[in-house]
Amino acid sequence: MGRRSIVPKQPSERGPQRPAAHAMRPLRTLALLVALLGVSVSGCKKPTSKHPVRKRTEGTAHLPTPPNLNPAPPPNTYSDGAWSVTGLFNSGDEILGQVVTVRGHIANIHRCPKDETACTRPPHMQLTDVTSLQGRRLLVGGPIEQNPQWTTGQRVDIRGTFVRSSADGRYLAPRGLLMLATTEQAQPTGPGR
């Protein structure tokens, strides 16, 4: 095996010569300047769009009337003497124990199923002042099932006694409830039928 020589080779013996790194610097700088100049020149053009620019036209907007978010509350009593649900609750103890007529919309009805001999939940319905069936509700207890013509959303005048609880203890409402005493005490009224 041969030994390597420690003596450096002469430039002609090394093969093709590469330029030194310091000689490449001006070329790199020139290439970077050309690239930056190309980007800046192309960035100065006005942007073009596929969509044409729309011009403002004169006109007026036709919007729907805004809803009334603060509707007037119903009166405590109507001109014919019937109470509203709100009016009945606002009266407090003033009419407790009296027979009154209440006008409202039926919010919901619970009737006993025909096949049950003893109803687990007593028959009842709830009245409200507003047609959306929201808001304060008055519990109405008694022989609801004897009035099959009553339906949810129907506006009715109902006559009964304003109490806090029924005599048998099946109905209880601390704000008050209306107890029906006879079979036919409600009459449909107004346009909400």
Q: What is the DSSP letter of 25?
A: H
Q: What is the DSSP letter of 77?
A: B
pLDDT score of 159:
92
User: Which residue in 37, 82, 49, 61 sits closest to 187, CA to CA?
Assistant: 82
Could you give the C-alpha distances from 52 to 19, 43, 48, 49, 128, in angstroms and in order? 55, 21, 9, 7, 57
Q: Does 139 score more than 60 pLDDT? A: yes
User: Which residue in 141, 186, 188 sits closest to 161, CA to CA?
Assistant: 141
* Gap between the Cα atoms of 162 and 101, Å rounded: 9
pLDDT-derived band at 100 (thresholds 50, 70, 90) equals very high
| Highest-pLDDT range among 44-48, 126-130, 179-183 | 126-130
* Gap between the Cα atoms of 102 and 89, Å rounded: 11
Q: Are 166 and 180 in contact (CB under 8 A)?
A: no
Q: Does 111 score more than 80 pLDDT? A: yes
pLDDT score of 167:
82
With 0-12 / 13-18 / 19 or more C-beta atoms within 10 angstroms meaning exposed / middle / buried, residue 105 is: buried
With 0-12 / 13-18 / 19 or more C-beta atoms within 10 angstroms meaning exposed / middle / buried, residue 145 is: middle
Mean pLDDT of 1-15: 59
**What topology does CATH give the domain 83-188?**
OB fold (Dihydrolipoamide Acetyltransferase, E2P) (2.40.50)
* Gap between the Cα atoms of 85 and 92, Å rounded: 12
Q: Does 169 score more than 90 pLDDT? A: no
For tokens 């407790």, what's the residue?
96
Residue type, 90: N
With 0-12 / 13-18 / 19 or more C-beta atoms within 10 angstroms meaning exposed / middle / buried, residue 68 is: exposed
pTM of the model: 0.57
Name the average pLDDT for the chain: 78
Mean pLDDT of 113-142: 83
pLDDT score of 190:
53
Higher pLDDT, 154 or 182: 154
Sequence spans of domains, the chain: 83-188
Q: Does 83 score more than 90 pLDDT? A: yes
Q: Does 185 score more than 50 pLDDT? A: no
Q: Does 181 score more than 80 pLDDT? A: no
Mean pLDDT of 75-99: 89
Mean pLDDT of 32-52: 69
